[in-house]
Structure 1
Amino acid sequence: MAIEQKNILIVYHTQTGNTGQLARAAERGVQAEPGCAVQCLMAADASLDHLLWCHGVLLGTPENFGYMSGMLKDFFDRTYYPAEPYQLNKPYALFISAGNDGSGAAREVARIAKGYPLVPVAEPLICRGEITPQHLAEAEALGQAMAAGLALGIF
């Protein structure tokens, strides 16, 4: 019996490169899990078709003024209503590069994701300050956990 490939979409925005480092680490984590494919896209390039392709989503944003980035919000704005008929009900996890505490960005992403619906499967990974090797390891682990959870049918 063939095992169905699981597809994971990583949607992120970065200006300084910090969130981009986390996205690439998460992508490496997904790639470490057999039977999983990944698309890692800047929020401006991601679309409803990408959401429909995937089985799970990793979202990444810098914390901007206590909120998610404008480009991640734009992704939500462009896909939210077109996604309504599909009742996506897909698992998601979030990573944030934060200069402050990241809680505002996490809260607002969760509020919007609930409407799709997207279902949180992990606590948000909030990386405060400069990106460290520990942050990158945690982002990689988050990507691999999402992939393993999907591959095993946990979510």
Structure 2
Amino acid sequence: MGRKKKLLIVSHAPSPNTRTLRDAVAQGAGHKDIENVEVTVLAPLDAGPDDVLACDAIILGTTENLGYMSGALKDFFDRSYYPCLEKTQALPFAYYIRAGHDGTGTRRAIESITTGLKWRLVQEPLICRGEFQAKFVDQCEELGLSIAASLEAAII
């Protein structure tokens, strides 16, 4: 068997609820049946271009802040954009948003930046809208599992 594929999860998780969602994504991605994917979870302020350049796929997670992504995720993009611009085209990615409102502005911002990077969205964005619900945890776990399983199977 070849080298393990690398899945990077970059998630802004400033509250217990958002940490629960981040952990659910990581738990799904690290499912016991997925043996050939190495999962790395980093906060946006701890992640940078070297992490992106080393991964085979990425899952982004953010809160909706004033109709935009978190400042921490924006900082990650600011530091990573140009070093990754020509080197990560077609990088498979997915993302989730913990949105107190509708997540529209946050989605637009992420898609604008990732379109510029020419990353490849491989799953419909997960937008956890409104009051926190237990189903968000299950949805995040499914997101992590889906991306990791797809990466292992070379579907993405």
TM-score normalised by the shorter chain: which range applies?
Answer: over 0.9
**Percent identical residues:** 42
Query: What is the number of equivalent residue pairs in this alignment?
Result: 154
Deviation of 1:19 (Å): 2.5
Distance apart, 1:13 and its partner CA? 1.0
Map of 2:90 onto structure 1: 89
- Residue of structure 2 equivalent to 1:72: 73
Which ranges in structure 1 are unaligned for 5 or more consecutive residues? Answer: none
Partners in 2 of 1:45 and 1:135 — Cα distance? 25
Q: Distance between the aligned counterparts of 1:31 and 1:124, measured in 2?
A: 20
Deviation of residue 21 (structure 1)?
1.6
What's 1:19 paired with? 18
- The answer for the alignment partner of 1:7 in structure 2 is 6
Spell out the pairing of 1:1-155 with structure 2 (5 A cutoff): 2-32=1-31, 33-155=34-156
Query: Given that residues 18 and 97 in structure 1 are in contact (C-alpha distance below 8 angstroms), is that contact kept between their aligned partners in structure 2?
Result: no
**Is the CA contact 2:102–2:130 (under 8 Å) kept in the aligned structure 1?**
no
Superposition CA RMSD, Å: 1.3
Letter in 2 for 1:16: S
Question: Unmatched 5+ residue regions in structure 2?
Answer: none
Contact 1:6–1:55 (8 Å) recurs in 2? yes
Per the TM alignment, residue 109 of structure 1 is displaced from its structure 2 partner at its CA by: 0.2
Deviation at 1:53, TM superposition (A): 1.3
Q: Is the 8 A contact 2:53 2:88 kept in 1?
A: no
Alignment TM-score, normalising by the size of structure 1: 0.94
Alpha-carbon shift at residue 18 of structure 1 (Å): 2.8
Give TM-score, length-normalised by structure 2: 0.93
